Chains A and B, each alone.
Chain A
Amino acid sequence: MNLGNPLILVTFLPLVGFLIILFLKPEQKNAIRAVALATSLVVFGAALWLLAQFQPQTAGLQLVVKQAWLTVGGMPVQFFMGVDGISILMVLLTALLTPIAILSTWSAVQERVKGFMLFFLLLEVGMMGVFLAQDLVLFYIFWEFTLVPMYFLIGVWGGERRIYAAVKFFLFTMAGSILMLLAIIFLAGQAHTFAMDELINSRELFAGAQMLLFLAFGIAFAIKVPMFPLHTWLPDAHVEAPTAGSVILAGVLLKMGTYGFLRFNLPLFPEATRQLAPWIGGLAVVGILYGAMVSYLQKDVKKLVAYSSVSHLGFVMLGIAALNPQGISGTILQMVNHGLSTGALFLFVGMLYERRHTREMEAFGGIWKVMPVLSALALIITLSSMGLPGLNGFVGEFTILTGAFGSAALGSPWFAGLATLGVILAAVYLLHMFEKVFLGPVKHAENQGLKDLNLREIAILVPLLVLIVWIGLYPQPFFNLINPAVENLVALVALP
């Protein structure tokens, strides 16, 4: 196996840091943090190197690693990895958010730092593997693998109801995964392979069962997204998770669900995809409006942001259901956008929590007066989340809605039309949040002396802000990475 392949590097380099930390004493907190941060930065560098070798105009898999690995029942399980326009931005997003999340724990995590960082690096391995694996068994292993570290991050370093939230997160995902596992076994039984390229070529072999197969994969992914009505694990998980956990959960783990639809459901089961597109689109629209309405009157700001994810991921699913280039390219960009904006929102919530030890919006008010830098930056992120033109969220949402409006698969402009109402509702709940926390007079004496951002905190936010503005004003370099693979995917799903 070529250990110098950038895909291998981004996936397994975190293990190097894992091993080093393993040999450090638990008291050496700063050394542990430094090793973890350095490792994640090296991974980020490797991801940039991967990007440098990536050829945007090529639609298919690149930098492929394909190696015989196991034999299961006479069928070869391959160590098969590859990257294309659908996964490359997810890899970059993961590589970017991991060091940011680690840096955000500097003062927030003081207990059991060693265990925390160990799990965090394992989590990065799992996430990278999910986005790069091209063999169903390999994918499934990575998919399940992400579950364990996240379970511990919530269950050990979480808030008061952490056990409840962690178990709920685990069981929910597990329930879906079992369906997917059954489907994988069935698929392999029909096609005698686990490799994605061969499965797509022989997809006629299991075309008869594709509706059931679509649902088995789809439910596993829909739980992860999460799509309405399978979303109730998310607010609990977010509220209890430590800040860094929330950043990764919202930023990357949810995208594993939408990515799963794009990577597996669409090319493997095209007929079922086309038939179910209006249903997915319908649930997506319900999710957009429902998530926005439920967000509005939340008292816990973290819960508000969590429900906003239900709404935002609704847009992402709507783009998938549109099954045209605008819808799907917009969806992939919006997956990045949501990772940046919602990741940043959770960082702000964490920064406020560290100072005040509460997330109740009632405990704040007038924060702009005492923390002008934090507030001004929080406003930019809020606006990005609202889809203000000129910032990243708008580009993704607009492209998705444009695609959905004229989508032949959805068959009606009503989906996009109703989804556009979400633009109004987003302004309602996000500006409500901003007003409650940042505007008005300083109501509570405890808030008078709050310290504004320090350099470390600004350093965490700057890369996110730069990308938010960059994608808003000049998204074309990103679309150039995405477009060829999407054209390919659309052709794979289209009527023969």
Chain B
Amino acid sequence: MQLETALMDPIFALVPWVVFLPAIGLVLNLLVGKRLGEKGIGALASLASGGAFVVAVLLALGLTRSPEGATVPLVDWIRVGDLSVRWAFRVDTLSVLMMLVVSGVGTLIHIYSIGYMHSDVRHNGDPLRFRRFFVYLNLFIAMMMILVSADNFLMLFVGWEGVGLCSYLLIGFWFEKGKDGIGNAQAAKKAFVVNRIGDFGLLLALFFLFWNFKSFDFAVIFAQAPQVAAAAPWVVLAITLFMLLGVTGKSAQIPLYVWLPDAMAGPTPVSALIHAATMVTAGVYLVARSQALFVLVPAAQSAVTWVGAATAIFAATIAVGQYDIKKVLAYSTISQLGFMVAAVGMGATVAGMFHLTTHAFFKALLFLSAGSVILGMEHGAEHAHDSHHLDPQDMRNMGGLRKRMPVTFWVYLIGSLALAGIAPLAGFFSKDEILAYASQQQPGVFIVLLIAAFFTAFYMGRQVLMVFFDKPRSEAAGHAGESPAVVTVPLIVLALLSIGGGALNLPGSLWLEHWLEHSLAEVHAGEFLLPVAAGSLAVALAGILIAWLVYGRKPLADAKTPDLLAHPLGPIYRGMESKWKVDELYHAVIVRPYQALSGFLAGPVDQGVIDGLVNGIASLFSMLAQLVRKLQTGYVRTYALAVLVGVVAVLAYLATAGLR
């Protein structure tokens, strides 16, 4: 430890500040935010997040000098027997990449939120909640930084559950709104509980790690992993599979993805930051970080890969059948996370991290632009006559927004094309790298992902056509207005990143790969396969073309018309529209039986059998006591006296018993 510290590049000592700065920001806002006003609150929170970004940039500069990175210990945390855990930070190319993405995208979203929340708190009728939003947002950045900068699995777990808490708080930000006034609160609870199921898995992985490695430190575990795997392969299999359960929770994969669509109840900047760009990628990061464990157990690797691939295609089909502009993006996020999980599962870690980064750009862009659309629709609804009960997120009510909101339209189009994988935008390169790897290693996965890519292009084409093209299908859409600059400027920045983000790992330069090779045990050289690239581009173009054939040529007549695919596809479309009834299935198979069991235990078992036995014994005695019933006067003081006498009697008994 001393050695590490002594040889360390001094700039790395800054790393705790990626956590401290946002923490200071939230504390300051709690203490004095009330006096600062909205601008001050927003500026303070953005500065705190921006400061963390600056620190991350400095660390990255340090890494260009000394790419091996460092461990920066802060203080002992838990030390009991041979259990010893520190608060210690890891600076390496992988953790700093995550820090840059989190604080970079995070800061842009902080700035955007100043404008968005200004109108959102007024729209929802509680302007005083503005400060609370930025406190939560700073807390999230701090927790996410703990997650990605941890040097051991236990500290990672602190961030892991910490971001889950922020997600809970922000989904339930308008906790008195939603279906029946409680819908948002229930969505928040669902997110936390489902994530806890995943966390249960991660905890078990931690216990296995401790008893087999006697440490939680990354360096110790990864160094000893081969020996442990040689001695007891099932141990490493158990560790990685339990981790996978954690990944399916946090990164919304089958079977635990169900919380993410409901999480769209949170304000739109939250959907962009937490539920698209950063938090949900924590599972991908975990697998990438633990690559040294996963490569030892091919069975776990294929489990991860197939979970990812199945999620990619399954969620993409659901996205086709949604009308809510954010729900489409939510299922798209699940699907794209599936691509990343499949990639890191196959061992294509660089490709997975590449897609994680570009996806953070274009999906944050799409969500924030969707937020801009919603603001525009709400704005329009205020100027329309009969649109008070209109859902501003329902795409059937939109149409023609291209002319009313030109900036939003163009950035949305860029984000969509990047997501669909159209060259030369960012998503094309990162997705192509995953597909290229799959085509060589796992043809089955390749085909599944290619079909998912087709769906992606199709549902994004559908969305853009429904929202921006043709004529407005509601008065609100007709009166929609463009958002202010504080909203559109971050959009333009993200749009530029979505266009140029592919440069991170262009075939030929492979900058990201060389960057990450210092942190990863194995790096597979990314290859550019022309047939795969051409094929995936053709598939994407085909998806967009078919979307145009269905929705572009003959647009929806009005908001009431059923989807144009509803009739031709019949039950298949209804399945996609109803999300394949997975929520209903879980409700019937897990939630309802658990409630019944809980009620049964609380009633018949606890109050009936167990307490009944106790009271039965008691009444047996009281029957015997009928003889001395006169003593039961019902006055507490009489009982009191009796008890005191009793205690004295016991003591007397004790004394005499000893006196034998």
Q: Which residue numbers of A lie inside 8 Å of B, CB to CB?
A: 70, 72-73, 75, 137, 140-141, 144-145, 147-148, 151-152, 155-156, 163, 167-168, 170-172, 174, 181, 185, 188, 229, 231-233, 290, 293-294, 296-298, 324-326, 329-330, 366, 368-369, 383, 388-390, 395, 398-399, 401-402, 405-406, 413, 416-417, 420-421, 423-424, 427-428, 431-432, 435, 438-442, 473-476, 479, 483, 486-487
Q: Could you list 16 further interchain pairs (A-B, Cβ under 8 angstroms) beyond the known A368-B175, A395-B78?
A: A137-B654, A151-B640, A151-B643, A163-B636, A168-B614, A233-B614, A294-B602, A330-B80, A388-B161, A389-B158, A406-B207, A417-B204, A420-B204, A427-B196, A431-B189, A435-B182
- Which of A424, A442, A474 gathers the greatest number of chain B CB atoms within 10 Å? A424
Q: Are B162 and A389 in contact (CB under 8 A)?
A: yes
Cβ proximity bits B601-616 to A, threshold 8 Å, 1 near / 0 not: 1100010001100100
Q: Are B78 and A476 in contact (CB under 8 A)?
A: yes
Tell yes or no: B81 within 8 A of A by CB: yes
Q: Are B193 and A399 in contact (CB under 8 A)?
A: no
Tell yes or no: B83 within 8 A of A by CB: yes
Cβ contact of A402, chosen from B199, B207, B646, B651, cutoff 8 A: B207
Cβ contact of A439, chosen from B185, B199, B614, cutoff 8 A: B185
Q: Are A440 and B204 in contact (CB under 8 A)?
A: no
Q: How far is the CA of A23 from the CA of B193 in the complex (A)?
A: 55
- In the complex, what's the smallest C-beta–C-beta distance from B294 to chain A, in angstroms? 22
Tell yes or no: B176 within 8 A of A by CB: yes
Cβ contact of A483, chosen from B76, B80, B157, B197, cutoff 8 A: B80
**Which residue of B is nearest A292, CB measured?**
B598
Q: How far is the CA of A144 from the CA of B655 in the complex (A)?
A: 15
A427 — which chain B residues lie within 8 A by C-beta? 192-193, 196
A140 — which chain B residues lie within 8 A by C-beta? 654
Q: How far is the CA of A137 from the CA of B650 in the complex (A)?
A: 12
Known contacts A232-B614, A432-B189; A144 and B650 CB within 8 A of each other: yes
- Which of B80, B165, B200 gathers the greatest number of chain A CB atoms within 10 Å? B80
Tell yes or no: B79 within 8 A of A by CB: yes
18 A-B contact pairs sorted by A residue (CB < 8 Å):
A147-B647, A168-B614, A170-B643, A232-B606, A293-B602, A325-B80, A366-B176, A389-B160, A398-B154, A399-B80, A406-B211, A413-B211, A435-B186, A438-B175, A440-B181, A441-B181, A441-B182, A479-B80
Cβ proximity bits B585-598 to A, threshold 8 Å, 1 near / 0 not: 00000000011011
**Which residue of A is nearest B640, CB measured?**
A152
Known contacts A383-B165, A388-B165; A297 and B599 CB within 8 A of each other: yes
**Which residue of A is nearest B618, CB measured?**
A171
B160 — which chain A residues lie within 8 A by C-beta? 389
Cβ contact of B77, chosen from A421, A440, A475, cutoff 8 A: A475
Known contacts A185-B657, A441-B181; A475 and B204 CB within 8 A of each other: no
A171 — which chain B residues lie within 8 A by C-beta? 618
Q: How far is the CA of A405 from the CA of B209 in the complex (A)?
A: 11
Cβ contact of A423, chosen from B75, B172, B199, B654, cutoff 8 A: B199
- In the complex, what's the smallest C-beta–C-beta distance from A326 to chain B, in angstroms? 5
Q: Are B83 and A399 in contact (CB under 8 A)?
A: yes
Q: How far is the CA of A168 from the CA of B617 in the complex (A)?
A: 12
Known contacts A293-B597, A294-B598, A401-B207; A440 and B185 CB within 8 A of each other: yes
Q: Are A402 and B210 in contact (CB under 8 A)?
A: yes
Q: Are A329 and B81 in contact (CB under 8 A)?
A: yes
Cβ contact of B158, chosen from A148, A329, A390, A441, cutoff 8 A: A390
Cβ contact of B81, chosen from A72, A144, A325, A476, cutoff 8 A: A325
**Which residue of B is nearest A490, CB measured?**
B81
Q: Are B598 and A293 in contact (CB under 8 A)?
A: yes
B83 — which chain A residues lie within 8 A by C-beta? 325-326, 399, 402
Tell yes or no: B496 within 8 A of A by CB: no
A417 — which chain B residues lie within 8 A by C-beta? 204, 207
Q: How far is the CA of A181 from the CA of B647 in the complex (A)?
A: 12
A474 — which chain B residues lie within 8 A by C-beta? 75, 77
- In the complex, what's the smallest C-beta–C-beta distance from A193 to chain B, in angstroms? 12
Cβ contact of B658, chosen from A75, A151, A156, A486, cutoff 8 A: A75
**Which residue of B is nearest A476, CB measured?**
B76
Q: Are B176 and A439 in contact (CB under 8 A)?
A: yes
- In the complex, what's the smallest C-beta–C-beta distance from A422 to chain B, in angstroms? 9
B485 — which chain A residues lie within 8 A by C-beta? none
Residues from 59 to 95 in B contacting A, C-beta threshold 8 Å: 75-83
A293 — which chain B residues lie within 8 A by C-beta? 594, 597-598, 601-602
Q: How far is the CA of A413 from the CA of B364 in the complex (A)?
A: 43
Cβ contact of B78, chosen from A421, A438, A479, cutoff 8 A: A479
Q: Number of contacts between A and B (CB, 8 Å)?
A: 184
Cβ contact of B644, chosen from A148, A369, A428, cutoff 8 A: A148
Cβ contact of A424, chosen from B80, B81, B197, B650, cutoff 8 A: B197
Q: How far is the CA of A368 from the CA of B184 in the complex (A)?
A: 14
Tell yes or no: B660 within 8 A of A by CB: yes
**Which residue of B is nearest A163, CB measured?**
B636
**Which residue of B is nearest A424, CB measured?**
B196
Give the 10 A-B residue pairs with the shortest CB-CB distance, closest first: A325-B81, A72-B658, A73-B658, A439-B185, A406-B211, A405-B207, A441-B181, A389-B158, A232-B611, A439-B175
A368 — which chain B residues lie within 8 A by C-beta? 175
Q: Are A72 and B200 in contact (CB under 8 A)?
A: no
Which size class do B's interface residues fall under?
35 or more
Cβ contact of B610, chosen from A232, A296, A325, A395, cutoff 8 A: A232
Q: How far is the CA of A435 from the CA of B182 in the complex (A)?
A: 8
Q: How far is the CA of A483 from the CA of B83 in the complex (A)?
A: 12
A483 — which chain B residues lie within 8 A by C-beta? 79-81
A152 — which chain B residues lie within 8 A by C-beta? 636, 640
Cβ contact of A476, chosen from B77, B597, B599, B659, cutoff 8 A: B77
Known contacts A72-B655, A326-B81, A440-B175; A416 and B185 CB within 8 A of each other: no
Q: Are A476 and B181 in contact (CB under 8 A)?
A: no
B80 — which chain A residues lie within 8 A by C-beta? 325-326, 329-330, 399, 479, 483, 486
Cβ contact of B601, chosen from A70, A290, A413, A420, cutoff 8 A: A290
Q: How far is the CA of A140 from the CA of B653 in the complex (A)?
A: 13
Q: Are B647 and A144 in contact (CB under 8 A)?
A: yes
**Which residue of A is nearest B155, CB measured?**
A389
- In the complex, what's the smallest C-beta–C-beta distance from A199 to chain B, in angstroms? 15
Cβ contact of B161, chosen from A172, A389, A406, A487, cutoff 8 A: A389
Tell yes or no: B47 within 8 A of A by CB: no
Tell yes or no: B58 within 8 A of A by CB: no
Q: Are A294 and B158 in contact (CB under 8 A)?
A: no
Q: How far is the CA of A40 from the CA of B602 in the complex (A)?
A: 38
Known contacts A424-B193, A474-B77; A413 and B207 CB within 8 A of each other: yes
Q: Are B207 and A416 in contact (CB under 8 A)?
A: yes
Cβ contact of A297, chosen from B172, B602, B655, cutoff 8 A: B602
Q: How far is the CA of A373 from the CA of B441 in the complex (A)?
A: 56
**Which residue of B is nearest A74, CB measured?**
B658
Tell yes or no: B511 within 8 A of A by CB: no
B186 — which chain A residues lie within 8 A by C-beta? 435
Q: Are B79 and A479 in contact (CB under 8 A)?
A: yes
Q: How far is the CA of A432 from the CA of B168 in the complex (A)?
A: 13
A297 — which chain B residues lie within 8 A by C-beta? 595, 598-599, 602
**Which residue of B is nearest A144, CB measured?**
B647
Tell yes or no: B54 within 8 A of A by CB: no
- In the complex, what's the smallest C-beta–C-beta distance from B599 to chain A, in angstroms? 5
Cβ contact of B176, chosen from A369, A388, A390, A428, cutoff 8 A: A369
Residues from 148 to 206 in B contacting A, C-beta threshold 8 Å: 154, 157-158, 160-162, 165, 168, 172, 175-176, 181-182, 185-186, 188-189, 192-193, 196-197, 199-200, 203-204, 206
Q: Are B660 and A73 in contact (CB under 8 A)?
A: yes
**Which residue of B is nearest A194, CB measured?**
B658
- In the complex, what's the smallest C-beta–C-beta distance from B178 to chain A, in angstroms? 9
Q: How far is the CA of A353 from the CA of B534 in the complex (A)?
A: 69
**Which residue of A is nearest B184, CB measured?**
A439
Known contacts A326-B80, A427-B193; A156 and B636 CB within 8 A of each other: yes
A366 — which chain B residues lie within 8 A by C-beta? 176
- Which of A140, A232, A487 gathers the greatest number of chain B CB atoms within 10 Å? A232
- In the complex, what's the smallest C-beta–C-beta distance from A266 to chain B, in angstroms? 16
